[in-house]
Amino acid sequence: MKLLIVEDEVKTANFLMRGFSEAGYVVSVAPDGATAMQQIGTGAFDLIVLDILLPGVDGWNVLTWLRGAGLQTPVLILTARDEVSDRVRGLELGADDYLVKPFAFSELLARVRTILRRPPAREATTFRVADLELDVDGHKATRGGRRLDLTAREFTLLALLIRRPGEVLTRTLIAQAVWDMGIGGDTNVVDVNVRRLRAKVDDPFPRKLLRTVRGVGYVLEDPGVN
Ligand code: CA
């Protein structure tokens, strides 16, 4: 079992590394969010222990990026932030568990074992909104049975939107998920790519599915539903 520990505090990181290694896990450590995203991109981990307050890209961003990219790797948030609103936010962003520092290693280990015992969530690989369909495994998008010729970015963008139908996704969230862009990045790239995607997904069809929410972001939904 491979674990990724995302922790900027050297003492805590070493402590976790030693503890989990002694418990039989293979452990990697990332000292910041950007390194974590890089390591997640290149290696398969069975679980990620994620600190929230990190230099640069923080834990919230890592988690948003991870789930936005469709990765189901279990995440346990380990943080000094003990506000209820933080816990809720963590779970809503797709964390599997949340433990507040200071913590007992025995409890952390027990929680990690519990998460790893759960059968992995079978992720859906085909998504549909109205007559628009996206097959992640087959890397194929169709509308009304007609194949859409999308670039890799357009496909990722559509995959993000179609996984969360009816939900308004902000430009910032989209920029983070599709372009690994930090807060404050230039989100014009999102608008440009949404326009290109729309030209393929919506323009040739009378029923429009990709809607702009002015000043906020974009939503993909069946207009017949609302
Ligand atoms: Ca920290």
pLDDT averages per 10-residue partition of the chain, 226 residues: 96 96 95 93 89 95 89 93 89 93 95 88 81 90 94 91 89 83 76 96 95 94 76
- CA-to-CA separations, 31 to 28, 56, 116, in angstroms, rounded: 10, 10, 23
User: What is the pLDDT at residue 164?
Assistant: 85
User: What is the pLDDT at residue 121?
Assistant: 63
User: What is the pLDDT at residue 44?
Assistant: 82
User: What is the pLDDT at residue 26?
Assistant: 94
Could you tell me the distance, in angstroms and rounded to a whole number, from the CA of residue 5 to the centre of ligand 1? 11
Sorted by sequence, the CB contacts under 8 Å of residue 195 that are 6+ apart come out as: none
User: What is the pLDDT at residue 123?
Assistant: 66
User: What is the pLDDT at residue 125?
Assistant: 81
Could you tell me the distance, in angstroms and rounded to a whole number, from the CA of residue 54 to the centre of ligand 1? 5
Which own/partner pairs from 84-89 qualify as long-range (CB within 8 Å, at least 24 positions apart)? 86/52, 89/60
Could you tell me the distance, in angstroms and rounded to a whole number, from the CA of residue 207 to the centre of ligand 1? 47
- Which residue type does 208 have? K
User: What is the pLDDT at residue 55?
Assistant: 94
User: What is the pLDDT at residue 34?
Assistant: 93
Q: What is the pTM of this model?
A: 0.58
User: What is the pLDDT at residue 14?
Assistant: 96
Could you tell me the distance, in angstroms and rounded to a whole number, from the CA of residue 29 to the centre of ligand 1? 13
User: What is the pLDDT at residue 225?
Assistant: 55
User: What is the pLDDT at residue 224?
Assistant: 78
Could you tell me the distance, in angstroms and rounded to a whole number, from the CA of residue 136 to the centre of ligand 1? 35
Could you tell me the distance, in angstroms and rounded to a whole number, from the CA of residue 31 to the centre of ligand 1? 9
User: What is the pLDDT at residue 6?
Assistant: 98
User: What is the pLDDT at residue 180?
Assistant: 73
Q: How far apart are CA 47 and CA 2, in angstroms?
A: 7
Structural domains for the chain:
2-117 (3.40.50.2300), 126-220 (1.10.10.10)
User: What is the pLDDT at residue 82?
Assistant: 86
- Which residue type does 42 have? T
Could you tell me the distance, in angstroms and rounded to a whole number, from the CA of residue 83 to the centre of ligand 1? 16
Could you tell me the distance, in angstroms and rounded to a whole number, from the CA of residue 59 to the centre of ligand 1? 9
Could you tell me the distance, in angstroms and rounded to a whole number, from the CA of residue 12 to the centre of ligand 1? 9
Nearest to 114 by CA among 103, 99, 102: 99
User: What is the pLDDT at residue 184?
Assistant: 67
Q: What does DSSP say about strands 140-143 and 132-135: parallel, antiparallel, or unpaired?
A: antiparallel
